[in-house]
Structure 1
Amino acid sequence: MITPATQADLDVVHEQLGRIPRGVVGIAARALDGTPLVVATAPRLPDGTPFPTSFYLSHPAYVAEASRLEAAGTMAEWTRELGEDADLAAAYANAHRDYLDRRAALGRLAGTDDVPEIKDFSAGGMPVRVKCLHALVGHALAAGAGVNPIGDRAISLMTGVPAPAQASATGAAVPDPTVAAPASDDDARAEAASSAVRVAAIDCGTNSIRLLIADIAAGRLSDVVREMRIVRLGQGVDRTGAFAPEALERTFAACEEYARLIADHGAQRVRFVATSASRDAANREEFFAGVRERLGVDPEVITGVEEAGLSFLGATATLGTGQDAPAAPYLVMDLGGGSTELVTGTREVDAAFSMDIGCVRLTERLLRSDPPSAAEVEAAQAAVDAWYDRALETVDVSGTRTIVGVAGTVTTVAAAVLGLEAYDRAAIHGARLDLDDTVATCAELTAMPRAQRAGLGFMHPGRVDVIGAGALIFSRLLQRISAQVLAATGSAPVVMASEADILDGTALRLGQD
């Protein structure tokens, strides 16, 4: 039963979520003491945005426990079970229909029209998959026990959550999970989970737009969702000075997809950072408005130095400690589509410089042939050298002991160096790359015709045309940096590839706010 949301309720929900709740119709579930557990939300927000998550889980204890269960792999396990258990699948399908009926009732209560954009789309993966326990638990608490079998099951496995003040769909009292559930096997992990905040970070660069939904607790990041789409937002910006209409269309389509994922997974804080291409485009206000309309947040066009700092935070946070950890000082190289950042430091950034060379920009400017001619390669190397010489006025690389390369160009080159048949994030992250092998591999990728690159099992189709330029940049910088470090210290630096970068740094910073 939906109960009215008082101002006191809204203040509590604001504190629970860390933001002002939007489109609140009422409180869909409460604890025995009246504290809101689930917010009932209108299917269309006041700004016109369709909002599929009608029952938004807000109580931190429930949010943390849902995150813990998701991290334990329950969603994949229960999705498989749906394919094997006909009775469970039928009950789950009924829950899907119940969700749609309740959303329609919320729409009538809120005075909104039908929302065709989310017609037949419920939440949490229903009716055939388990994709977000937060949405399913929210539905189960709002509807009462016996309606959503997966949501009920998740609640039965939770510890330390307040009992809901409601009866089940059959009239029986809902069991108090704080009494019935066994104690956690790992009290420290449970304590950390209870303080977790779920964040959504979006990094929109020249070539790709990426989403990370993660739980942040005690300064550590646990992935919930990672997505990447090649949208080539920076298509032609170097030549025209403006975003192309088709590039904006691709980017906005990705934003709409990400908005649904963010809503499904109940992110409490969202940040959208835009990098090189967005700093340069004359029609960026059109881009800002489109993002704001779809995601409800304002894009932040960060400077090259800010980008460098976030990349350093993300890349170094996962390097580990102990005997096997790479030696500091670090040089983080973030090789993007429109720019490349060099950042030095140990625990914090010592110096940073952003160079206006990236795989898309260099391809469009200098490497236009397929494959590039010797003259084009020579000109591109000269351009990299010129920018690196400028960087040295700001960044002292001579003391570097570990070079950490991040972003898609570097990880794709790493896949080639490692001889992977398919892209494998786990194998790439933290891989140590032999300098000579890496330089040779980069040369092969740069000289390789695009049709041949496209046949490589690890190659993303959206990188086929620009990986040659990216590999050239990576190789040239590695050679120059390594030579300087060797001359200064007598030993060459270790070269590593990292899957953690500005996206992880943005999420970590968001979790600290």
Structure 2
Amino acid sequence: MTENPRTVTEQDLDTLSRQLGRPVRDVVEIGARCVCGNPLVATTAPRLSNGIPFPTTFYLTHPVLTSAVSRLEAAGVMAEMNERLAQDDDLAAAHRAAHEAYLAERERVGREAGTGEVPEIAHVSAGGLPERVKCLHALVGHALAAGPGVDPLGDEALAAVREWWTPEACACAGAWDESAPVPSKDLSRHVRHLARVEALERVTVAAVDCGTNSIRLLIARPAGAEDADGPAPDAPLEDVVREMRVVRLGEGVDATGAFSAAALERTFAAVDEYAHLVKRHHAGTVRFVATSASRDVSNREAFVAGVSERLGVAPEVVSGVEEARLSFAGAVSAVDVTALGAEDLVLVVDLGGGSTEFVVGTPDGRVADAVSMDMGCVRYTERFALSDPPAEDELAAARASVSAVLDDVAARLPLERVRAVVGVAGTVTTVTAEALGLAEYDPAVLHGAELSVAEVRAAADRLVSATRQERAARGFMHPGRVDVIGAGALIWAQIVERVAQASGTGRVVTSEHDILDGIARSLRR
């Protein structure tokens, strides 16, 4: 992992105190830095160590920048902004949205600092938000810390000071006296915060699953990790962040054998987002697993280099068998295995965009065998050029191909011993949402849901025969799955029916826990 640029160091505290000419107070993070690394903005705890509430979370500290903003204030810019706020409803709405974003960040910073809630300033932000502009320094500090597009008037002020200061150039030389003694400071809050961050980094893990269709992130830490005594050694992992972006990395790979430039651009944009979250939540260990499409492409090195540059770790292009084992580790928790015998097996099916993993294991979580097949919702949508809705001859060709793949699976795995089937990934959860008649996607309802073979078949048939417009209108349907869910549903229904024929197992379980959770579990120290 690359160092988190928001983490406060002893050198930062000394620099901040010299910049301000007084002891710095209760800094939780560095909200923004100069291109040279020196602080521009100090992110401050919402309650100071002396007990006083402190509403200005993002405190502008760099002397050159603060002087430039003061010139704007002296020129009457705030009065002009206030006039526009009174006349421009869109600008006023964006200004109020900046206020809400400020409050949300202060709440997070309060959790980071351990101050808890500060009711005295519960609805107060800074700089005049949400109705007026009273301090441009506060708005500029917020704009720098939050990034472009969050605080529009702060962004405007930053653009207006470019004559004197720009984010692309260092203006630190001579801005403060580097040789001056550091003003005396109380490090108690700083030291406590840094110790807490270090403790979280030791136990917080980040797992990334990059498949053919989507890229997902799970940041997790043991239950009790934020308590004073820390987590128990055997504490289960709890979600901190769980995100998914449909990037279609494997789009066109079946035909060209390479990732397209557009697919890489979409994927790298998602990785940039994830890198920010990893740093924000102090994940000290990261594992990036790339599957299916990433195994075979001719320009794999461009993918590996792009991810490594952004996330600080190289993606592991795992084998299909390893992918299956990770999926099993994550998914088996969704099954009530108490009624299964010692000789019974659980089958976990991870139906992805480019491949489908089949793994059988014992009820206590030991993997017996696994296979990976080049069959997935994106691959089959492209291979069979399914119409909208699909024609019968198209469906017949796709079903024949699925049947041939399942013949191979049945020859390699003991499906007759399977007594529980668990399906994971977006195709399976979407078919389950259709079967349950959900108005919107609800992971809590979907996780652990049991369906009969007939219910799976009926839901799959409805999705396969629907038009694109009809699929898109379903409230639970992710936009990135609209075009590929027909092929995915066709595959899932045939898998369920084939396993039922071989084993007599009449019900299947849907799991929201899958390879992503398996990756996170593999990082437990």
Whether TM-score is above 0.5 comes out as yes
Q: Structure 1 residues 435, 95: closer, same or farther in 2, change over 3 A?
A: same
> Displacement of 1:393 after TM fit?
2.9
- Work out whether residues 338 and 359 of structure 1, in 8 Å CA contact, stay in contact via their aligned partners in 2: yes
Q: Which residue of 2 aligns with 1:403?
A: 421
Match of residue 478 from structure 1? 496
Structure 2 unaligned regions, length at least 5: 14-26, 47-51, 66-99, 123-183, 193-198, 224-233
Paired with 2:40 and 2:480, the residues of 1 have a C-alpha distance of: 30
Shift of 1:315: 0.3
Is it true that 1:444 corresponds to 2:427 in the alignment? no
Letter matched to residue 104 of structure 2? R
CA distance in 2, matches of 1:20, 1:295: 8
* Distance change >3 Å, CA 339–CA 140, structure 1 → 2: same
Q: Deviations over 1:212-251 (max 9, x none)?
A: 1111362622011111111101000000111111111111
2:167 corresponds to = none
For 1:253, the equivalent position in structure 2 comes to 269
* 1:41/1:56 contact within 8 Å kept: no
> Is the counterpart of residue 224 in structure 1 residue 186 in structure 2?
no
- The offset of 1:103, in angstroms, is 12
| CA distances 1:177-214 after superposition (whole Å, capped 9, x unpaired) | 9xxxxxxxxxxxxxxx9998111111110000111111
1:129 matched residue in structure 2: 104
Q: What is the aligned partner in structure 1 of residue 516 from structure 2?
A: 503
Matching residue of 2:389: 371
Give matches, 1:93-492, under 5 Å.
Answer: 94-96=56-58, 98=59, 101=61, 127-130=102-105, 133=108, 136=110, 167=186, 197-216=203-222, 218=234, 220-319=236-335, 329-346=345-362, 347-486=365-504, 492=505
Structure 2 CA distance for aligned equivalents of residues 51 and 485 of structure 1: 64
For residue 9 of structure 2, give the secondary structure of its aligned residue in structure 1: strand
Shift of residue 293, structure 1, vs aligned partner: 1.5
> 1:95-143 CA distances to partner (integer Å, 9 max, x unpaired)?
12x2x538999xxxxxxxxxxxxxxxxxxx962314884x5555689xx
How far 1:262 moved relative to its partner?
Answer: 1.1
| Aligned residue identity for 1:128 | L
2:295 counterpart letter in structure 1? R
What SS does structure 2 have at the residue aligned with 1:506? helix
State the 1:287 CA deviation.
1.1
Cα offset, 1:406, TM superposition:
0.2
- 1:288 Cα deviation (Å)? 1.2
Q: What whole-Å deviation, never above 9, does each CA across 1:248-280 have from its counterpart, x for those lacking one? A: 111111111111111111111111111011112
Amino acid across the alignment from 1:427: V
Q: Distance in 1 between matches of 2:355 and 2:110?
A: 41
Query: Using a 3 Å threshold, how does the CA distance of structure 1 residues 203 and 176 change in structure 2: closer, same or farther?
Result: closer
Change (3 A) 1:262 1:437: same
Partner AA of 2:186 in structure 1: A
> Which residue type is aligned with residue 332 of structure 1?
V
| Structure 2 CA distance for partners of 1:321 and 1:369, relative to 1, 3 Å | closer
1:60 alignment counterpart: none
The whole-number CA distance in structure 1 between the counterparts of 2:502 and 2:419 is 12
The CA distance in 2 between the partners of 1:229 and 1:249, in whole Å, is: 13
Deviation at 1:476, TM superposition (A): 0.6
Question: Structure 1 CA distance, aligned partners of 2:376 and 2:333?
Answer: 24
Letter of the structure 2 residue corresponding to residue 379 of structure 1:
A
- C-alpha RMSD of the superposition: 4.2
Q: With the length of structure 2 as denominator, give the TM-score of the two structures.
A: 0.66
- Aligned-residue sequence identity (percent) comes to 47
**SS of the residue 1:392 aligns to:** helix
- 1:463-497 alpha-carbon deviations (Å, 9 max, x no partner): 011000000000011111100102xxxxx243010
Change (3 A) 1:196 1:289: closer
Distance 1:444 1:194 in 2: 47
Say if 1:102 and 1:138 are closer, same or farther in 2 by CA, change over 3 A: farther
State which structure, 1 or 2, has the greater radius of gyration over its C-alpha atoms: 2
Aligned residues: 393
Distance in 1, matches of 2:352 and 2:330, equals: 15
> Secondary structure of 2:243's partner?
strand
Q: Secondary structure at the match of 2:438?
A: coil
Query: In structure 2, what is the Cα distance between the partners aligned to 1:167 and 1:205?
Result: 49
Supply the distance in 2 between the matched residues of 1:449 and 1:194 (Cα, whole angstroms): 48
Q: Which runs of 5+ in 1 are unaligned?
A: 1-18, 30-36, 58-77, 79-86, 106-124, 151-164, 178-192, 487-491
CA drift of 1:329 comes to 2.1
Distance in 2 of aligned mates of 1:103 and 1:316:
57
Q: Give, in whole Å, the separation in 2 of the partners of 1:213 and 1:52.
A: 28
Structure 2 Cα separation of the partners of residues 204 and 354 of structure 1: 16
1:155 corresponds in structure 2 to none
Counterpart Cα distance in 2 of 1:322 and 1:45: 58
Relative distance call for 1:126 and 1:320 in structure 2 (3 A) is: farther
Distance verdict in 2 for CA 1:317–1:339, change over 3 Å: same
1:26 is displaced (CA, Å) by 3.3
Partner of 2:507: 494
